[in-house]
Amino acid sequence: MNTISDLTRAYHFAAVRHLSQKRKGKAGEPYINHLTEVADLVATATAGADIDIVIAAVLHDVLEDTPTTSDELVAKFGPRVAAMVAEVSDDKTLPKAERKRLQIEHAPHLSEGARTIKLADKTANLRSLKKSPPADWEAARIADYVQWALAVGEGLRGTNPELERLLAEAAAAVVTPSA
Ligand code: ZN
């Protein structure tokens, strides 16, 4: 059973593993800011009811983007957290278009914890796209991303009304021109 000290351990672990990685946006934010945002969305929307989901949210990109292995996550944070992180990780051996298609296909079949993390991740990514779009992304690419994020979100309906509302709000904000 994980506790609050395991959560702080997860933040430290993720911060170190993602240390050299920056977010895609033009602001080049440290990656830990994204992990903090996703974990905060999950913790707030679930009222902190299940600490394993929050820990998995902190670690959600560690398999996909760093040399961390699933065995290592099992040893450090237990099999349940490791399984949720694996569920929200793309198979990086596949081409990008196929990975994106599979996210839409797999979304409805994920565990509740993984679905919650996915909703929060897509919400955070859309917010970043609004706040700090990557310098080389044309309007059409941004619109495609929003469409895709909403298609993944469609398969996550019924998971968490608050996060579903925040996802829709973030998507609408991206396509609405700023004043
Ligand atoms: Zn993420």
pLDDT of res. 177: 73
- Measured CA distances, 38 to 31, 75, 123, 133, 135 (Å): 11, 23, 8, 18, 23
- Catalytic status, residue 64: yes
Ligand 1 mean position to 3 CA, how many Å? Answer: 23
Candidate list 40, 65, 72, 90, residue with the active-site label: 65
Q: Residue 1 — very low, low, confident or very high, per pLDDT cuts 50/70/90? A: confident
Which of 86-95, 119-128, 132-141, 163-172 is the least confident region? 132-141
Q: What does the alpha-carbon distance between residue 44 and residue 27 come to, in Å, rounded to a whole number?
A: 26
153 CA to centre of ligand 1 in angstroms: 14
Q: Write the DSSP string, 62-129.
A: HHHHSS--HHHHHHHH-HHHHHHHHHT---TTS-HHHHHHHHHHHGGGS-HHHHHHHHHHHHHHHHHH
The residue type at 62? V
Task: Report pLDDT for 82.
Answer: 98
Burial class (CB in 10 A: 0-12, 13-18, 19+), 135: exposed
136-158 pLDDT tens trace: 999 999 999 999 999 999 999 99
Predicted confidence (pLDDT) at residue 179 exceeds the cutoff of 70: no
Q: Are 13 and 61 in contact (CB under 8 A)?
A: no
Q: Where are the domains of the chain?
A: 4-175
Q: What is the pLDDT of residues 86-103, one digit of tens each?
A: 999 999 999 999 999 999
> Ligand 1 centroid vs 61 CA: distance in angstroms?
6
Residue 28 pLDDT = 81
Q: How confident is the model at residue 26 (pLDDT cuts 50, 70, 90)?
A: confident
Q: Mean of the pLDDT values across residues 98-113?
A: 97
The pLDDT tens digits for 27-85 are 788 999 999 999 999 999 999 999 999 999 999 999 999 999 999 999 999 999 999 99
**Averaged confidence pLDDT in the chain:** 95
Q: Please confirm, yes or no, whether 71 is among the known catalytic residues.
A: no
- The mean pLDDT of 162-168, rounded to a whole number, is 98
pLDDT at 178 over 70: no
User: Is 4-175 a domain of CATH 1.10.3720.10?
Assistant: no
For the chain, percent of residues with pLDDT exceeding 70: 99
Q: Which of 50, 64, 72, 90 is catalytic?
A: 64
